[in-house]
A and B are shown apart, each in its own frame.
Chain A
Amino acid sequence: MSLDKDTVRNIAFLARIKIPDEELDHLAQELSGIIGWVEQLNEVDTESVEPITSVADMSLYRRKDVVTDGGYQARVLANAPDPEAGCYTVPKVVE
């Protein structure tokens, strides 16, 4: 499967990564190369195979319903670029 410029642009938008126009062609080529290479998996017969999502052979640990965390506003804001009034701030969002 070959990826064209438009596809790369759309994917880049889904991933919110700005890509300069002049890089799109080369990137499309590279990505097409990688995707073409991974398509070798089509050779494998997986008809009756269940997909694995974890190799952790255990059951999901469930914790008790007790408040054990939070309550440290300063810590969670410590690395924020532009905190104010106890909040994170971002460019204005129009809803």
Chain B
Amino acid sequence: MPWIIEGETGDWELVCGLEVHGQVISNAKLFSGAATAFGAEPNSQVSLVDSAMPGMLPVINERCIEQAVRTGLGLKAQINLRSVFERKNYFYADLPQGYQISQFQHPIVGEGSVLLDMPDGSTAEVGIERLHMEQDAGKSMHDQDPKRSFIDLNRTGVCLMEIVSKPDIHDPEEAGAYLRKLRSIMRYLGTCDGNMDEGSMRCDVNVSVRKVGEQGLRTRTECKNLNSVRFVMQAIEYEVTRQIDVYESGGEVVQETRLFDSTRGETRSMRAKEFAHDYRYFPDPDLLPVELTQEYVDKIAADLPELPDAKKERFIGDFGLPAYDAGVLVASRRTAEYFETVATGRDAKTAANWVTSNLFGMLKAKGLEIWDSPVSAENLGKLLDLIADGTISGRIAKDVFEIMGETGKSPDEIVEEKGLKQVSDEGAIQGVIDELIDGNPGQVAQFREGNEKVLGWFVGQVMRATQGKANPGLVNKLLRDKLSA
């Protein structure tokens, strides 16, 4: 369903493209041997190259190239066997060289696409324009001193992948889904950890609007360095409304970079006059073009893990899961692997339910990630086995699950220790039932008069009497038989 905004002069639609900067997972920086780890003492992960001392030269990190190619393959994109690093020249305190080594005319990755899983279960496709490698800048801090800004170059030179989408996004939900999918793919591949709150993934948003059916694109504005999916969606919504208002009151949208104010959920024009940047790109003479062989690319392709889209299809096919459930399970590779361990050889739908509601609920309550789950996939599987073979009831299983979460023990151990085995001994249950019926003639009479609800009361009483261990199915059947007799 396309997102249409009804204005006073007609119906409008959004045209939006996102530029995502992802920090590449690597030990050392793109062109310098300094470390990339987050959170170190200022300027303690800065080499002479990073601090742009006279005479310093860049030397490329082979892993960064691999990670970019791997990501490109994950985006089903064209890998350019020949790419060129160019200098983007401008002055800023966090850019010691006075230029950023980036890729301009010949990026390492070309066109590709990303499939989005929308919340309503539908899919949408967003095209990728290109992916290139570039150096990250340092950090400027402005609150330390009234007259000075403080510069920390630790982040300078870390490898970034800039992923540019085509302007295929037409609704803030799609933008959110795109970011989540992109993050998921990169996490699956291990090429970027996608932690927007730590700044290892940042998003610039390009927004323009046009009347529905209008060909061509109108002026767009840009919002930079948004660091949460929610902010991206808010910025888009605000900009769309603002731009439509401008057009409908007879104005023109100005091409500019705007700031997003997250406290107010608004975008603002930058107060200072924005100088037109002339970056004067030219090929970096300290480097040579990156030349890859098809074999090199093929080898990386052969070693790729199964990616979310393929895994989702397989879960739907092999496990018979509905698309939505499959989508939820593959969002994170570790969750998918966890689920698969539980589901293999068992009823997939049951496994899916236990993972997505019971397990996720427990993890959320404990504030844990799936890789720190106190309940292992093997043990959850065993729990499901105990239910399936009637050893315990579904209800008891829930209790066992909680205890598993607290103790990390296996379900068998817990069931044994606590004597939670389901009582399926007809004779024993019959005995309890007989006692209850004898002791509660009033309720028996109500049932015989047609009050079905009182059966539930009886079931409850039997469960109480058996500490919840009676096989509920059997209890129901025997009660009914006895009461109807």
Residues in chain A within 8 A of chain B (CB atoms) = 13-14, 16, 53-54, 56, 58-71, 73, 75-77, 82, 84-95
A54 to B289 CA separation, bound complex (whole angstroms): 9
Contact B63 A69 (CB under 8 A): no
Contact with B28, one of A65, A88, A91, A93 (Cβ below 8 angstroms): A65
Contact B32 A69 (CB under 8 A): yes
Contact B148 A91 (CB under 8 A): yes
Interface contacts beyond A76-B51, A88-B153: sample of 18 additional A-B pairs, CB < 8 Å, sorted by A: A54-B288, A59-B288, A59-B291, A60-B291, A63-B33, A63-B61, A64-B61, A65-B26, A65-B61, A65-B64, A67-B28, A70-B35, A70-B47, A75-B48, A76-B46, A85-B144, A91-B147, A92-B147
Provide the residues of chain A in CB contact with B41, threshold 8 Å. 73, 86
Contact B288 A68 (CB under 8 A): no
For the complex, is B241 an interface residue (Cβ under 8 Å from A)?
A: no
Which residues 284-322 of B sit at the A interface, judged by CB distance below 8 A?
285, 287-291
**Can you name 7 A-B pairs with beta carbons within 8 Å?**
A63-B62, A64-B62, A70-B33, A70-B47, A71-B44, A87-B42, A93-B140
Provide the residues of chain A in CB contact with B152, threshold 8 Å. 86-87
For the complex, is B142 an interface residue (Cβ under 8 Å from A)?
A: yes
Provide the residues of chain B in CB contact with A87, threshold 8 Å. 42-43, 141, 144, 150-152
Contact A70 B147 (CB under 8 A): no
Provide the residues of chain A in CB contact with B153, threshold 8 Å. 76, 88
Provide the residues of chain B in CB contact with A60, threshold 8 Å. 60, 287-291
Which residues 138-180 of B sit at the A interface, judged by CB distance below 8 A?
140-142, 144-153
A87 to B40 CA separation, bound complex (whole angstroms): 13
A53 to B82 CA separation, bound complex (whole angstroms): 14
Contact B43 A76 (CB under 8 A): yes
A60 to B34 CA separation, bound complex (whole angstroms): 20
Contact A53 B283 (CB under 8 A): yes
Contact B145 A89 (CB under 8 A): yes
Shortest A60–chain B CB gap in Å is 4
Which residue of chain B is the closest to A10 with respect to CB atoms?
Answer: B278
A38 to B60 CA separation, bound complex (whole angstroms): 34
Provide the residues of chain A in CB contact with B272, threshold 8 Å. 94
Shortest A30–chain B CB gap in Å is 21
Provide the residues of chain A in CB contact with B474, threshold 8 Å. none
Contact A85 B60 (CB under 8 A): no
Contact A70 B42 (CB under 8 A): no
Contact A91 B149 (CB under 8 A): yes
For the complex, is B38 an interface residue (Cβ under 8 Å from A)?
A: no
Contact with A65, one of B27, B43, B84, B291 (Cβ below 8 angstroms): B27
A17 to B219 CA separation, bound complex (whole angstroms): 33
Contact A67-B34, Cβ < 8 Å, known A16-B91, A76-B48, A93-B142: yes
Which residues 5-59 of B sit at the A interface, judged by CB distance below 8 A?
26-28, 32-35, 41-51, 53, 59
Nearest 3 pairs of A and B residues by beta carbon: A70-B34, A69-B33, A65-B63
Which residues 179-204 of B sit at the A interface, judged by CB distance below 8 A?
none
Contact B34 A69 (CB under 8 A): yes
A77 to B48 CA separation, bound complex (whole angstroms): 10
A77 to B42 CA separation, bound complex (whole angstroms): 11
Contact with A85, one of B32, B42, B63, B84 (Cβ below 8 angstroms): B42
Contact B42 A53 (CB under 8 A): no
Most-contacted residue by chain A among B45, B84, B145, B150 (CB, 10 A):
B150
For the complex, is B348 an interface residue (Cβ under 8 Å from A)?
A: no
Contact B62 A58 (CB under 8 A): no
Contact with A90, one of B28, B65, B93, B146 (Cβ below 8 angstroms): B93
A95 to B59 CA separation, bound complex (whole angstroms): 32
Which residue of chain B is the closest to A76 with respect to CB atoms?
Answer: B51
Contact A56 B288 (CB under 8 A): yes
Contact B43 A63 (CB under 8 A): no
